[in-house]
Structure formats: C-alpha cells, structure tokens
Structure 1
Amino acid sequence: MNVSDKQLPPSASAGNPDHIYLCIDLKAFYASVECVERGLDPLTTNLVVADVTRTQKTICLAVSPALKAYGIPGRPRLFEVEQKLKGIKLRTGREITYIAAPPRMQLYIDYSARIYSVYLQYVSEEDIHVYSIDEVFMDITHYLSANRNKNGRPITARELAKRIIQNVWAATGITATAGIGTNLYLAKIAMDIVAKHVKADADGVRIAELNETNYRQLLWDHRPLTDFWRIGRGIAKRLEKKGLYTMGDVARMSLQGADTNGYGENLLFNEFGIDAELLIDHAWGIEPCTMADIKHYKPSTHSISSGQVLPHAYDFKKGRLIVQEMVDLLVYDLIEKDLVTSSITLHIGYDKNGLKESHYRGGVHIDHFGRAVPKPAHGTEKLTDAGGQAIYSHSTKKIMNAALKLYDRIIDRKLMLRRVSLTFNDVESAVDRKVICRQVSMFTEDVLEQEQEDQEQRIQQALFRIKQKYGNNAVFKGMNLQEGATTMERNNQIGGHKA
C-alpha cells in the first residue's frame, strides 16, 4: 500500500511541539524557469533541460511536470526521453513533441536568489538553511504566533507555507511543494514522499505534514526504501540482504536489543557502524539536529575540491594536462579565500574499455551504473619544503610539483582516463600559518626560497585581480590552448554546464 492509498494524518503542528519545520522544494526548478522565460506554463509544457550539443547520452538536468506525467523520470538521459516518447507513439499513435532547452545556470541562480528574497519576507536568515539551489529548510516555530489569519488568530504552519508558496509563484511563476514536520527529517520526508502523492488544493499547492506518531502510522511499510532521505541504492541493498525492506522493519529490528549473535541493533551497527545510530533514529522518525545546530556547525577539518568528467577518453599525456589545469584553478580558490593547504589527493577514473585491453591485470570496480571498469587510481601527497619538512602553502609551484609527482606515481599509463578529481586537504587560513612559515624560513636561513615564494604570491595576486575584474578567461596560460585542455571552456560554465 502506498501513500496515496492511505488517509493522511492530522496536522503535525497539533499538540504544540517544541519545533515546527518547513521544507520547500521548487517544482522541476530548471525546467520551470525555462518555461517561465518562454511565457509557457510549466505544468502543461513538455520541456527538458539538456545540452543537445553533447551526445544523446547527456543527462537531462530537469524534466517538466507535463513530461513526467508520461512516465519520464526526473533525471533521464536524452535518448531515454526519445525512446519513451517513441514507445507512446507506437502504442497510441500520438506524437508528443518537446522543447530541449540548453542549461543556463546563472539564470537559475538569479531566480533562486529572487525566491530566497521572498522567503526573507516571512522568516529571518538565521532560521533558513539553504539545502540546494531549489530546496530550503525553515524553522517556523516562532513565526506562527507573529502572523495572523483572516480570523485574527495565529496562522497554522500550513497557512504560512501556503502564503510563502503563493508569494513565490506571484513573484516568479515557479510552483513549489512543501513538507511540515516536528523535526527537520520529518519535514523533508513529508515533502519528498507524502506531498508528492497528495492531491493539490484548489490553488494547485501540495503541502503535507508529519509528526513522529503519524510518520510511523503512514510510512513504516512504505516502499521502496530509496524514497527516504539518505538511503541510496547501496544502503537499501545492504538492508534487504538482512531481510529489512521498510523503515518499520528497521525500527522493529532495533528493538531486539544488543544480541551477541549479531541480531537486533547489533546487526545494524555491525553493518553500518556509527551510521546505524542515524538510521535507527530516522526509522523512528527522530532527528535531534536543529536549525541552531546547523548554523553553529564548524567542521573539524576543511578541504576544497574540483572534479570533471572528460568529454572523451584521455591518454596519460592529456590527463596530465588536465591535472595541471585543475591545480591552477584550485590554487586560485586558495588565493581568493586567503587559504593554504598541506596535502593533495587525486582520484582518477578509467574508461571502461580498459578491461578489454589484453595487458590489463589490475583490479575491477563496479561503477554507479553497474558496469565493470578498471579499479580507479587514488593517492595523497603531502607538501614539503626543500628539506623534506611538511608545510602549508598556496604556492602554485609547490602544489603543482606535488600533484604531478602524485599523478605519475598512481596512474596506469596504458589506460585511458574519463574522470579526474582533485582535493586540497587540511585547508587553513594563510594568516594563521604565516608566522609559522616565516619562523621556519628564518631558522633554516632559506631566504632565497622565501623571496621566490613571495614573488610568486605577488604574481598570483595580480592575476587574480585581473580575472576578478575582466573574467576568468582574461588571462590564461599556454597550456590552456593545448589539445585536450578544458579550462577555458569550463570558465564559461557553472557546475559543469553552460552559464
């Protein structure tokens, strides 16, 4: 039995809980923006957001609600959309046309900023957490009594949610779905699972509400598990191997106690480690994290990273060029934020055709699509000075030398590359580390090296200011013009897609 087959629970805001949270998701956001920009209705227009200049395998970033009604999923590949519509034509004789809109990432960011300004008309910034470009959490606990309905009474959570959604639609033409819950998790689940199955009200708005008790009544036997927040296919498969197919199964298993034979909650902790604690909490509809916790969270370690899927398979030499370009770009991030790093990590994904090569004797990895591919290369290299001492730096020269040394060490030169990820680890403030660096330099009397690094830093700062003023492609290096280079194209992208 699914959500739509059941009677929905009473309001989550009943009983005066400690907190009331609201989660809002903008419906098919990218596709809706493209429809609005064309003067079309997102609910009746067949549209996908996809770069048709790439291959038919390119992923559609969004699908309009009208196209989804034909059974097309939210993130299909372009050829899958074509196949689905051809199948409908064969069965019914009806030809369905659609618009393929190229991505315009900066436009979506601008719309998101406009919508965020609408949220601020109702809720303070300190009570809003931006989860993604099209989704937010709000702690609306203290805003209900401050707002009144037509009868002069404090508004309900549902009434406030509807006001916000209607204001967003009036300001932008974008529709939204909302979930209300007595904790952050329940608000998210109410939106993700329940609201998407309820009938829209007279104004086309879908809002669902959950509290811990109603969550258990409504969703303990809901399938599939992957519908729930933070449960991907991998976790779902591991649970199913243990005979656990629903959140109710997980909750009941946790009641069995710590059995020494690996049953009960021990089964979950043995399988998932500390993550089992969160899994059990969510099975019961419990989430101790609050908005205040999110706002005050400070990670114990920091890193910055960059990754790209290459347009086609690259050999060793071109892959090395990509690493050089990525180091160059990521160093500018360090400079912009006045940060330094102590080590770098590289992750290289190989082309699947490498397994067909007779020379390959390495490990085999199953990728996200279930395909067998050569085992990825992975490694970390620490930054050191001339004497071999560990250091923090944002010197392009030092970081580049370390990155290329690492690349040459971990790469299989006979295989072709398809994915490259680069991470700068243990990132800290350059100001906090500068005194230490100076003391070491004076102690070792390595004045020349320090002067060279200072000169390099001045050049980096000058280049950074030029790029800030005139754009990232205002200054570029000779390597950016070599065959296979991607930096200049990527400088015109946001998130790997056209800006």
Structure 2
Amino acid sequence: MGEKAAMISNPYLSLSSVEAVERGLNPLKDMIAVVGDLSRRGSVVLAASPAIKDRYGIKTGSRLYEIPDDPRIYVVPARMALYIERSMQILNIVHRFVPAEAIQPYSIDELFFTTLHSERLFGSIHDVAMSLKRTVYKELGLLLAVGIGPNKFLAKVILDNYAKKTGLAAVTYADIPAVLWPLPIQDVWGIGRRMQLNLNRLGIYRLGDLAKAPLSLLRSRYGVIGEQLYYHAWGVDLSPVIVDPYAEARKGFSTGVTLMRDYNKLDALIVIYELTDQITAKLRRYRLAAFTVSLSIRYSNKEPMPGYHKSRTLYAASCLSVPFLEVLQQLLHASNDGLIRHISISVSNLVEESAVQLDLFDSAYHEKLRRLSRTTDAIQQRHGSAAILRAISLTDAGIALNKSHKIGGHYE
C-alpha cells in the first residue's frame, strides 16, 4: 500500500484532444465531440472537449442526438487506429522513465505506473510526472493530466476530479477527509448509476458518508463489493500495479457487446453464438481450455427487471464452441423474458489445452471439431475475422460482420 503510483491520462480530452491537434483546433477552447458512428443517431459520444462540456453538458456517454445544432461544434467520427497509435507512443515515452513491468495499461487513454526503485535516476514521482507531461507535449503536441496517489484508487480519483482540470494533482492518505470525502459518490471511480441509487437509499451521497457507514451494513447489502467500497472510501486499495500478464490471462477471458437496439431472445442467441466463437478462438490462441462458462445480460431501460448472470461448469474443460453453446442456450432459456440491450460471456477455471481429457466415445467427434476450429482460426488470422463467418452473422441480428470492420468496437 506504500507503493507510489501515478495515473496518467490524456485529459483534454483523451480522444477529443487528439482530434483537436490533428485538425489544428484548440483542445481547450473549441467544442469537439468524438462519436462512434455518425450514421446512427443513438451512437455514443466517446469523448468531448471541455468547451462543449461546459457550454452544453455533452460528455462521454452522451448520445449523438443530444448534441445541439451549433455550427461551432465539431462532430467527428472516431479514428481508433489513430488513437491506438498515440496511445502506444505515450506508452513508449513512459517506458523511458520506468521499466515495462512497472506499467499497467488501463484503457486506450489511461495507464498506471509506479516509480518505485527508479527515483535515483529521474527524481520523485512529481518530477517524473512533469518530465512526462513536457515530453509528450514537445513530441506529440498533446496535453496529459497526471494524478498521483499512494495506490491506484487514490491516483484515479484525484485524476478524475482534480488533475483533469488542473493538469496535475496529488493526494496523500492525510488529505482524504478534506479533499476526497466531499466528493459526490457518482464522481468516484467504481460507483455506477445503479450503485449510486442504492447508496442514496441508505442516505449515502458523498464519499465521506460512505466512509462513515457501518461496514457490517455495506457487507450485508452488497457482499464483497460493499466491503471494497467501504475501504476505498478510506483510501485503502491493495491491488498491485506490477502484475504478471500470464497469471492474469489464466484467471479467464470475457467478451461482450452493447447492442444498438433492443433484442429478443432469438436475436440474442445469434449474438451468443458469435461471442462464443470469439472467446473460444482466444482460448485456442493461448492453448488453454475452460471448465466454467458464464452468461450476463443487461435488459433495456424499458424493462423493470434487474440484470441476469449465471454460470455453469462443464464436466470436461474445452476450447471448442459446441460444448459452451449447449450450456449458454440453456442459461439463456432460463433467463427472464424481456428486451435485451447488453450481452457478455466469460470463461474461467482454465487449464492447459493439453490436459483436456476427451470422452472415449466422443473423442473422434471432438477431434474433428478441433481440426475444423484450427482451420477456421488460421483463415481468420491470415485474411481477417470476416473471411469466414457463420451464416447467421449475415442476418439483421448478427454483429460479427460489422465488428470485423472496427478496432476496439469502433471504425478505424
């Protein structure tokens, strides 16, 4: 917990500041909105400049149809290939100051890093942050915001609520009551809209209220999540910056999609087929197999019901779609009847693929499926994910063909 960690972000404003620099605009003064898909009125705003936030309240997560008809606003399509390139350039600059194992990417525009054991070379973490900001601006013309804290949670919260406005901000444990406790809970990393409403019902509106709430109450209501929220409110976060990526991969894989319209169960099954093919291809790429598969569903805002999440463990680990699809169809059938807006699946309880024991009577069938899957993998790796698809992906409910033209869920 005494490890020094820094949170790095491209503040003004991640993707919008990249677009501003590329277009010769002012990232602080010009009104810019980066939108995932300009052809869909309901497409999500991926980034918004400070000017459009201040004047119209347009922010990340807003919808295209919410952007007012103002000729001074630049509404631009997302260019994920460009953002990934800039992200990698910034990552390489950070690597000049700290070793690779001390860097943990968080998203396309944020990462954590620690200067532990490198202070003798480059000075304090504040010195590194300032050097990093100057280097990125000199070489890329981009403004970075840096939040500094004794752990990832504190670095992230100080970044989101202070550094993105000032460019640099730091917090210590002693600062928590005065600096962080007054924050509204909806402004705290890890607390979404649903949890905000749940906490509000308990009379918790600010981070300080959460810190003073009985731990036993939070634990009884929300289990391990309630316990984590309580300790976060006191600034306690034991998650490491330095992690073993191979160990992380062995915990499991997940993939999901937020749908562009409401789906019924029949349409949702098509998406489940496509997601299962994606995740089993990833298992085979890592030469792993999984025992457990999970299905998660979020319903449309039109539906009053909560989300659905169920898991089931197979009698034998697999890296093929067929065994998982049999289980996922059963889980989908057992879910509530309602309009669906988000689907995700995950696999866990992983083992080496070579350790999989095949049933004596089904071994020939599974070996045939394995060869077919490997052939499909080779074709897609060489010619792209759209080179070979299920026929159902060509229906209106299919997402795989459209997704194949995107990077990170958005067009290049």
Deviation by residue 1:11-46 (Cα, 9 ceiling, x = unmatched): xxxxxx954322111111111222223233322332
Q: Does structure 1 residue 338 correspond to structure 2 residue 287? A: yes
1:325 to 257, 267, 274: 274
Root-mean-square deviation (CA), in Å? Answer: 3.0
Q: Does structure 1 residue 486 correspond to structure 2 residue 411? A: no
Q: Match of 2:176, as an amino acid?
A: Y
Q: Does structure 1 residue 232 correspond to structure 2 residue 181? A: no
Q: 1:341 to 1:207 in 2, by over 3 A?
A: same
> Contact (CA 8 Å) 1:348, 1:420: kept in 2 or not?
yes
1:207 to 168, 181, 193: 168
Give the number of aligned pairs.
410
Partners of 2:84 and 2:26 lie apart in 1 by 20
Deviation by residue 1:104-154 (Cα, 9 ceiling, x = unmatched): 22221121111100001111112212122211222113333223xxxxxxx
Task: Report the equivalent of 2:366.
Answer: 453
Task: Report the equivalent of 2:112.
Answer: 137
Q: 1:134 to 1:485 in 2, by over 3 A?
A: same
> Contact (CA 8 Å) 2:17, 2:142: kept in 1 or not?
yes
Partners of 2:397 and 2:3 lie apart in 1 by 53
Q: Does structure 1 residue 60 correspond to structure 2 residue 45? A: yes
Shift of residue 497 of structure 1?
1.8
Q: Secondary structure at the match of 1:308?
A: strand
Q: Match of 2:267, as an amino acid?
A: K
1:176 to 144, 153, 176: 144
Q: 1:483 to 1:80 in 2, by over 3 A?
A: closer
Shift of residue 265 of structure 1?
4.2
Q: Does structure 1 residue 396 correspond to structure 2 residue 396? A: no
1:467 to 357, 363, 380: 380
**TM-score for the superposition, normalised by structure 1:** 0.73
1:223 to 171, 183, 195: 183
Q: 1:281 to 1:308 in 2, by over 3 A?
A: closer
Task: Report the equivalent of 2:66.
Answer: 80
> Contact (CA 8 Å) 1:129, 1:136: kept in 2 or not?
yes
> Contact (CA 8 Å) 1:492, 1:498: kept in 2 or not?
yes
> Contact (CA 8 Å) 1:304, 1:425: kept in 2 or not?
yes
Partners of 1:314 and 1:180 lie apart in 2 by 43
Partners of 1:347 and 1:469 lie apart in 2 by 31
Which aligned pairs between 1:209-358 and structure 2 lie closer than 5 A?
A: 209-220=170-181, 222-251=182-211, 253=212, 264-292=214-242, 294-295=243-244, 298=247, 302-351=251-300
Partners of 1:47 and 1:187 lie apart in 2 by 27
Deviation by residue 1:140-175 (Cα, 9 ceiling, x = unmatched): 13333223xxxxxxx443232111011112222221
Q: Does structure 1 residue 424 correspond to structure 2 residue 347? A: yes
> Contact (CA 8 Å) 1:302, 1:428: kept in 2 or not?
no
Q: 1:381 to 1:236 in 2, by over 3 A?
A: closer
> Contact (CA 8 Å) 1:137, 1:184: kept in 2 or not?
yes
Partners of 2:289 and 2:67 lie apart in 1 by 45
Partners of 1:190 and 1:124 lie apart in 2 by 24
1:26 to 3, 7, 10: 10
Q: Secondary structure at the match of 1:420?
A: strand
Which aligned pairs between 1:407-446 and structure 2 lie closer than 5 A?
A: 407-408=332-333, 410=335, 412=337, 416-431=339-354, 433-434=355-356, 437-438=357-358, 441=360, 446=361
Q: 1:373 to 1:495 in 2, by over 3 A?
A: farther
Partners of 2:297 and 2:310 lie apart in 1 by 9
Q: Secondary structure at the match of 1:167?
A: helix
Shift of residue 408 of structure 1?
4.4
Shift of residue 301 of structure 1?
7.3
Q: Mean alpha-carbon deviation: is it higher for 336-345 or for 131-140?
A: 336-345
Q: 1:123 to 1:217 in 2, by over 3 A?
A: same
Partners of 2:266 and 2:226 lie apart in 1 by 44
Q: Match of 1:392, as an amino acid?
A: A
Deviation by residue 1:42-62 (Cα, 9 ceiling, x = unmatched): 223322111454432221001
> Contact (CA 8 Å) 2:36, 2:46: kept in 1 or not?
no
Shift of residue 421 of structure 1?
2.6
Q: Match of 1:172, as an amino acid?
A: L
Q: 1:429 to 1:486 in 2, by over 3 A?
A: same
Shift of residue 275 of structure 1?
4.0
Q: Does structure 1 residue 122 correspond to structure 2 residue 97? A: yes
Task: Report the equivalent of 1:363.
Answer: none
Partners of 2:336 and 2:146 lie apart in 1 by 47
Partners of 1:170 and 1:416 lie apart in 2 by 50
Shift of residue 63 of structure 1?
0.7
Q: 1:347 to 1:161 in 2, by over 3 A?
A: closer
Q: 1:404 to 1:170 in 2, by over 3 A?
A: same
Task: Report the equivalent of 1:162.
Answer: 130
Partners of 1:401 and 1:265 lie apart in 2 by 41
Task: Report the equivalent of 1:41.
Answer: 26
Q: Secondary structure at the match of 2:258?
A: strand
Whose strand fraction is larger, Structure 1's or Structure 2's? 2
Q: Match of 2:160, as an amino acid?
A: D
Among all aligned residue pairs of Structure 1 and Structure 2, give the percentage whose two residues are the same amino acid: 26
**TM-score for the superposition, normalised by structure 2:** 0.87
